Amino acid sequence: MLAETVCSAVAAAGLGIAAVTAYRKRFLTATRIAAYALVPAGLVLTGAVAWIARTAFSPSAWAGFGVLGLAWLLFMTTRTVERRRGTRKERAAAAPEAVTGGARPAVGGSTGAGKATQAPTAGKKQAGGDDDFSDIEAILKKHGI
């Protein structure tokens, strides 16, 4: 009963503020304030406030929320463990690779593809670095430094 009274008072106050705002020719803001003010009144009229009040003071409702929280905790724990370990299919697919040594080659490994991809990138980085310094040198010379 008290919750319904408070919600109705909040709605009335909000509508009063919306009226003052509309008087000041700020109609868009007044409409938005009126919309927010009507939400508590709508919750009272639909019975949602009474349902929340009954639920808040019910021990069985709190027990239900506790069970839901425990279920959520267990679900998230299993998801975290599954992500760290991987699924059964991923582990089964990884097992033959581990036995045959199918791991990724190290940088600069014995595969021809690894060397071919490493050499151009190293050259580009080195050439790019020289270009950066030449630009800086040109700027410094321009300013007489």
- The pLDDT value given to residue 41: 92
Calpha distance 114→122 (Å, rounded) = 12
pLDDT digits (tens, 9 = 90+) for 25-56: 999 999 999 999 999 999 999 998 888 888 88
Q: Is pLDDT at 10 greater than 60 in this prediction?
A: yes
Calpha distance 64→51 (Å, rounded) = 15
pLDDT digits (tens, 9 = 90+) for 15-32: 999 999 999 999 999 999
pLDDT digits (tens, 9 = 90+) for 120-137: 555 455 555 566 788 888
Pick the more confident residue, 130 or 84.
Answer: 84
Nearby residues of 12 by Cβ (< 8 Å), 6 or more positions away: 37
Residue identified by tokens 């239900």 is: 64
Contact (CB, 8 A) for 3 and 47: no
